[in-house]
Structure 1
Amino acid sequence: METIYSNLKQLGGSTVLPKSPEEAELERVANPQADTAYCIRFTAPEFTSLCPMTGQPDFAHLVIDYVPGAWLVESKSLKLYLGAFRNHGAFHEDCTVSIGRRLVDFLAPQWLRIGGYWYPRGGIPIDVFWQTGVQPEGIWIPDQGVPPYRGRG
């Protein structure tokens, strides 16, 4: 029997982490509630990438909120895509914005925002925020809930 999940390749089996974000295959399913406006949140508190200059690891807490249109991102494919940044060298700003843009290009959501809350390296935390436009009215979209970095205070 054909379902909205029938074309998924990665769900339900062993999958190798992609070597790079470019090689990662995002998958999507039809939104069964496409006639309703609602928000979906993904939180990745252990996101990692590499500094493109030193090769040292960088760590972030990512929060992705989106109001879907016709498509939902399949969560395992998103997890593998985010995991592919583990060996990818890029600045915090590039990682954060490129994730948001790829999801927008792939899903065509009504609205999307991403917050990249990067842990300090060299004594400076960097937080990066990107969204597609004005937050839609009439949809409950909670604050991302990640406090500004305070150190040991």
Structure 2
Amino acid sequence: MPDHPDAGVLDKVPNPHPDVNYVARFTAPEFTSLCPVTGQPDFAHLVIDYVPGDWLVESKSLKLYLFSFRNHGAFHEGCTVEIGKALTSLLQPRWLRIGGYWYPRGGIPIDVFWQTGTAPEGVWVPDQGVAGYRGRG
């Protein structure tokens, strides 16, 4: 297991349907990293949607890459955007978005969203399905 995102290796595999626009989704409901100020754990529910071109991300490598953030100190915005940029660099997808739904620490939930542009016309992009944080009411 890599102990830092720089040590993580994302692998790609050929897309069996490069002629078709479709959305592939990965959900990581137990993503963890460390607060760079306090060293305490931060937790997020990540949803990654992308329209592949010639390549797909190999799922085990993605799992291990995400795991590499476990001991990595970075702000919520840094983690979320770094993951999106890494996948975009590797895959050169037609479109990619990532939603980072971070659980509250210090009483403040932070949600971070990043995408590469507009999804191709005619592609069904479902809602990410993660409700905004409401606390008790």
Q: TM-score range by the shorter chain?
A: over 0.9
Q: Please state whether the residue corresponding to 1:105 is helix, strand or coil.
A: helix
1:133-152 correspondence runs (5 A): 133-152=117-136
Gaps of 5+ in 2: none
* Residue from 30, 47, 57 that aligns with 1:46: 30
**Out of 86, 95, 109, which is 1:111 matched to?**
95
The higher relative CO (CA closer than 8 Å, separation ≥ 6) is in 2
Alignment-mate amino acid for residue 79 of structure 2: C
The answer on whether the counterparts of 2:43 and 2:103 sit within 8 Å (CA) in structure 1 is yes
Aligned to 1:64: 48
- TM-score calculated relative to the size of structure 1: 0.88
Partner AA of 1:95 in structure 2: C
1:92 to 56, 68, 76: 76
**C-alpha separation between the residues in 2 aligned to 1:44 and 1:68?**
19
Q: CA deviation at 1:55?
A: 0.3
Letter aligned with residue 20 of structure 1: H
| Structure 1: stretches of 5+ with no match in the other structure | 1-16
Of the three residues 10, 14, 31, the one matched with 1:30 is 14
Q: Which amino acid aligns with 1:105?
A: S
How far apart are the structure 2 equivalents of 1:21 and 1:119? 21
Report the TM-score when normalising by structure 2.
0.99
Pick the aligned partner of 2:114 from 130, 133, 136. Answer: 130
Q: CA deviation at 1:140?
A: 1.1
Q: Which has the larger radius of gyration?
A: 1
- Please state how far the C-alpha of 1:137 moved relative to its aligned partner: 1.5
Deviation at 1:41, TM superposition (A): 0.3
Question: Which residue matches 1:12?
Answer: none
Equivalent residue, structure 1, for 2:59: 75
Q: Check conservation: 2:31, 2:66, Cα contact below 8 A.
A: yes
SS in 1 for 2:6: coil
Question: Any idea what the Cα deviations from partners look like across 1:38-89, whole Å, max 9, x if unmatched?
Answer: 0000000000000001000000000000000000000000000000000000
SS of residue paired to 1:22: helix
1:134 is displaced (CA, Å) by 1.2
Letter in 2 for 1:138: G
Runs of 4+ in 1 over 2 A off after TM superposition: none
How many positions carry a matched residue from both structures? 137
Q: How many Å apart are 1:135 and its aligned residue?
A: 2.1
